[in-house]
Each structure stands twice: as C-alpha cells, then as structure tokens.
A and B are shown apart, each in its own frame.
Chain A
Amino acid sequence: MGALLKQCLRIVLVLFGISTIAFFLIHLSGDPVLLMLPPEATQEEIDAFRHQMGFDKPLSEQYVHFLGQAVKGDFGESLKFHQPALDVVLERIPATLELTLFATVLSIVIAIPLGIYSAINRNSLSENLVTVAVFLGQSMPIFWTGIMLMLFFGVKLHWLPVSGRGGWEHLIMPAFTLAVWVAPTTLRIVRSSMLEVLQHDYIRTARSKGLAESIVIYKHALKNAAIPIITVVGFQIGKLLGGAVVTETVFAWPGVGQLVVKAIYTADYPLVQACVVILALIVATMNFSVDSMYRYLNPKIKSG
C-alpha cells in the first residue's frame, strides 16, 4: 500500500514538473506575445493580446494561475481552433491510441517469435540474419521507414493508401513504421531473457520428462521470461508516442502527434501546452501501470 501511495505521489510530481516545463517553455524566447502573433501585428494588437492572455502580469502570478487552471484541465483557448485547447487534444486522442496500440501489438507479433527463434538457434546463420535485422531496425530514421513503405506499397504497387485515417488499410503502414521502430528493443529483451531462462534446471527437468520442445519453450520458458518482456513493452509506450509525432506527420494521421507539430508551426502555444501535458499524463500513467503490474507479477518483490 505504501508503494502504491508513493507511486501516486510520483505521478503528481511528474505532472507538476511537466506543467512547469510547459509553462516556462513559451517564456524561453523572452516575449511569448511576439512568438504567438504574426510579425506584422501592430502595437495595439500586441498590447491587447498581451492583456487578454495575462502576459502583462508578473511571471510568478502567471505561473500560479497556469498551474491552478491546468489542474482543472483548462489550458486556455486554442488560438487557431477557437475552442478550449483540452477539447481539441481529447478529440485527437482516439486516433493516436488506435495507432500506438496496433503498433504495439504488431511489434510484439514481430519481436516474440523472432526473439525466441534467435535464442534457441544461437550462432546459426539465421540467428545472425535476425541480428542484422535488429541493427537495421535500430538504425533507420523512423520517417524514412515510413517514406520507403509509402514509395513501395503506395506509389509503386498501389496496394495501400499513402495518407489519412479510415479503414484497416490506412492503419497498416503507419503502424508497421512504428512497430519497426520499437520491435528491435523488445526483440533483444525477449532474446536475452529467454537465454537466461533456458539455462535453469526446471527447463532441463521439463525436457528430461520427455515434453515436446515446443511445450518446453512456450509453456515453461516463455512464461518465466515474461516479466522483463512485459516491462519493456510497457515502458516503450513513451517511445511510441514520441515516434507517433513523426509518423503521424508523415502519413497525415489525424492524431495528437500531428496536432502538436501543426500547433508548433502555427505558434498556437496554449494548444502545444495542452498536448505536452496530456501526452505526459498518458506516459506517466502507463509507466505507473507497468510498475504495478511488475510488482504484481514478480513474486520476489511481493515476498520481500
């Protein structure tokens, strides 16, 4: 129970920190008003806007006000959409969640069988091929993967639509792009934890009982290797959301990632702040759930 409370406190602390960063971010350049208004704005417009946004008050007062409003979920009005920034963000959340969820499933489907395969076929030619694929996956810029998929499956073969959101066929390329980005890390963890587990005595026992190799691998070994795998999959959510920013832009996928990039281009900073805090909230709760699950799954922690 103490651990749970500590975790909750941590989330609050993290959110407080992120909100602070989000607040001071727009003051980095000196004057946030000049940042948000077009360069041809007149002095009167500048003054009126400064007053309207509260930028004429002392910084400390603005900060306290911002935090107070943020707790209530009020990040002010989006300059471009003329509606509460939070609403604009929440509208885009389902698209991003759909993409990241599907990408996570896809990355697991790629990583677990390949990871197991390379763990049980050590030092074979095919294991080396998997290793090469892992390195390539880790070294490809994510947007380039997207563009290359687009070039082959969209432009050349006309199999898949190159942009937008709609049916399954729209989801495949962006999700695969993201999956290629996170699968190498998962695969490495699957491989190393399988290698670790396969050395144990109970695996030898299971084999000596005459169990089929597939049962030994999938039932005995994989189950015991599951904890680090689940942990790494969970912690990659943050990385996925970061990757979604780029992937959504490449494929014109109407999620939070695309929204935040557009908001940055149009200097719609209330919207940027809302996006930043909401994405951080998602990542923080994900990390929290992974941590709790880890405690629940790992008997060593429970007894200790």
Chain B
Amino acid sequence: MSNTAVQPVVENAKPVVPEWKKNYRKFAKNPIGVVGLIMVLAITFISIAAPLLTSHDPIEVNLDNKLLPPVWQENGTWDHWLGTDEVGRDVWARLVYGSRVSLSVGFFAVVISLTLGTALGIIAGYFRGKTDFAISTVVDIMMAFPFILLALATIAVMGPSLLNMILVLGLTDWTQYARLVRGEVISLREQEFVQAGYALGSKHWRMIWRHILPNCLPSVIVLATLAMARAILMESSLSFLGLGVSSPTPSWGFMMSTGRPYIATAWWLATLPGIAILITVLGINLAGDRIRDMLDPKVD
C-alpha cells in the first residue's frame, strides 16, 4: 500500500542537487576563484595543524644558531629550512604559528564590524529620521579619517594585545557595512513584498529578520571577504609599527619589523613573512572577487 503511494513521487523527482553544490559549481566556473579558495584553505590548514608541521618551538631562543640562512643558501640546513632569526628562532615555525594571529584577527575583527555595521545600517535605513541622521553623521566622521591612524592611536592608549587589536579593528571598520546596508534597506522598504508585509500587519522586527536582512546578506558577505583581507593587512601594519600583538607571540608584521635592520645581511627575515601575508591576502581577495562576480547578475 505504502509502496504505491510513494512511487509517483520518486518518478517525478529529478536528481536533487544540494544548494551548496550548485553554488560551488557556479563559483568554480572561473578557475581564479578556486585558486584563491585553495590558498585560503591551505593557510587555514597550516594554522590549525601548526604543531604537526614543525618540531621547533616558535619562541625558543637559541643564540648558537642565530641568523642561519635558508637551506638553498650556503650554510643552510634542513633542520631550519627557512633559516633562523637574530636570536636563533626558527623562521618556518614562526611563520606557521604567525598565521594563527593573522587569521584570528582577520576573522574576529570582521565578525564584530559586520554585526555592528549591519545592525546600525538596518536601524538607520529602516527607521530613518533622527536616528538615521545620527548614525550617518558618525559614519561620515569615521570615514573622513585615515583608519590606520585611529587604530594606531587607540591601540597605543589601550596597550597592545591580541584582544585589543581585534576590538580596535572591529570597532573602527564597521562604517562601510552601515553605509551599504542603509542604502539597500532604503530601497528594499519601497519594494512590494515589504509593503505587502506591512499591509498584512507584520511586526517591524519580523519584517527585518525575515525579509530585510536576508536580502542584504549577499552584498554584506562580499564586503566581509574584502574587509577580512584589509584587516589582515592592517594587523600586519600595526604590528610592524610595534603596536601589535605583544613580543614573543609570532606575528608576521612584527617579524618584518624586527627583521628590517638585518635587510642587508639576512634578507629572508623581512622578506618571507611578507610573502606569507601576500599569499593569505591574495587568496582572500581572489575568492572574494569571485563571490562578488557570482552574486552580481550583470556579470557571467
């Protein structure tokens, strides 16, 4: 009995392709995006599997082994295949562990700025009036300001640490989400399906949660990927200026700042961390750009 009831349904159903698989196929149409994704995944893997990838302690000082060159140069050894720094710490180990700082700052700073900016953007665009004016003015003020200077000064006052870095980058970079989301909400409010919602007597928060927010998300995600790249660059700049994560913790920006004085004698110290940043940020930018094209109906 039950068999006959099920039969027709099975006949009509096409092979079901899950949503994520469809999206991935669309994403993979352009190989550059896939290359970017692989780069990001590789760096993520390295940061998670750090202890498996090196036997050296990234903060262990060994003055007998200082300033060893990479393996392909004279005096290089496989034990320290990317060389050692001015106090004999293994560069590869420091690079591997340094990815944790960059990725966590990038990720958490974006989570904070995205949440804050989206919330304020929705409030400004949805309720308009005085609230909108206040939020838009704050956005104007913050945008008229070299972002790095604000971050620099704030960290200098609050004291350098991983948490402060995340907080400062998160709390200063929310403005562009607010601006973008505000614009989208203003145009969404005029659309029929939202107007219909009001006519049916939907509550404000329900309208926002069910209809406004989901429609803003695609452009917010695009912004978030590019913002993550920027946050990682900014973290490295601040660490380079000596205002990043405190000293023994390996951070790519700080490695470059300590390696800079040795540029004439030990080029690898300032060069290699820069390449690590380049790979990470490039990967995020390539993947983010592909996502933007994918969500833009005008392209493809």
Do the beta carbons of A18 and B240 come within 8 Å of each other? no
> What is the CB-to-nearest-CB distance from A94 to chain B, in angstroms, rounded to a whole number?
18
Do the beta carbons of A276 and B274 come within 8 Å of each other? no
Instruction: List residues of chain B with CB within 8 A of the CB of A243.
Output: 148
Instruction: List residues of chain B with CB within 8 A of the CB of A13.
Output: 137, 140-141
- Measured CA separation A122–B145 after assembly (Å): 36
Do the beta carbons of B146 and A135 come within 8 Å of each other? no
User: Which of A64-72, A198-206, A216-224, A234-242 participates in binding chain B?
Assistant: A234-242
Q: Is A297 interfacial (CB-CB < 8 Å)?
A: no
User: Which of B72-80, B90-98, B112-120, B152-160 participates in binding chain A?
Assistant: B152-160
State the main secondary structure of chain A at its contact with B.
helix
Residues 116-152 (chain B) with a chain A CB within 8 angstroms: 137-138, 140-141, 143-150, 152
- Which among A21, A243, A267 has the highest number of chain B CB atoms within 10 Å? A21
- Measured CA separation A280–B242 after assembly (Å): 23
Do the beta carbons of A260 and B149 come within 8 Å of each other? yes
Residues 245-268 (chain B) with a chain A CB within 8 angstroms: 253, 256, 260, 263-264, 267
Do the beta carbons of B237 and A142 come within 8 Å of each other? yes
Q: Is B61 interfacial (CB-CB < 8 Å)?
A: no
Number of chain B residues close to chain A: CB under 8 A: 43
Do the beta carbons of A144 and B278 come within 8 Å of each other? yes
Do the beta carbons of A284 and B144 come within 8 Å of each other? yes
Q: Is A264 interfacial (CB-CB < 8 Å)?
A: yes
Q: Is A295 interfacial (CB-CB < 8 Å)?
A: no
Do the beta carbons of B270 and A147 come within 8 Å of each other? yes
CB nearest to A264 among chain B residues: B156
Q: Which B positions have Cβ atoms within 8 angstroms of A?
A: 137-138, 140-141, 143-150, 152-154, 156-159, 229, 233, 236-237, 240-243, 253, 256, 260, 263-264, 267, 270-271, 274, 277-278, 281-282, 285-286, 289
Apart from A138-B281, A139-B229, A141-B256, 9 more pairs, CB < 8 Å:
A10-B140, A18-B141, A141-B278, A144-B274, A148-B274, A238-B146, A242-B147, A260-B149, A280-B145
